[in-house]
Amino acid sequence: CEEDILAEKERLVKIGRLTQAQSEGVDLRSVKDFFSSDIYRRIKKADCVYRERQFTMAESIGKLDKMIPAEFSEEKTVVIGKTDLIFTENGAAVIVDYKTDKVEDISALRARYKEQMEMYTEAVGRSLGLTVKECILYSIRLRSYITV
């Protein structure tokens, strides 16, 4: 409910997670719509939920940048990232990544973030030892989601 959202905004300002200016920029309708979404209902029923889970992994630079000359493509680099949210259903992981891009059509996000979600899938599989069954991009602006 709206009172709960307002109270949470105040709490986040009080503990220093948001500035007052940031809290004033929160779109209450977007927050309420998220809490009414199918995704949120799934999160509430999840076996386990991980928020802002950081990962570190070695990856070949050729996989990250297709312009790297072939003779260097297998060299490794360290990738550090953080997933917005992971939840588990029936022993498998679902990754949720929140997006604020200004797009008219949510399908534009799929192409834009496909490689990022592939990297998250690999990282979650390695770090949690779980199969990732689904990757979801949730558009805050459009108040909808798409599976990648």
13 pLDDT higher than 90: yes
pTM (predicted TM-score) = 0.83
pLDDT of residue 57: 83
Q: pLDDT category, 1, cuts 50, 70, 90? A: low
CB 86 within 8 A of CB 67: no
Structure confidence by residue, pLDDT tens digits, 52-110: 999 888 878 777 777 888 888 888 888 888 999 999 999 999 999 999 999 999 999 99
What tens digit of pLDDT does each residue of 95-117 get? 999 999 999 999 999 999 998 99
Of residues 26 and 138, more confidently modeled = 138
- Residue 4 pLDDT more than 90? no
Sign of the dihedral through C-alpha 41, 42, 48, 54: negative
* Amino acid 15: pLDDT: 95
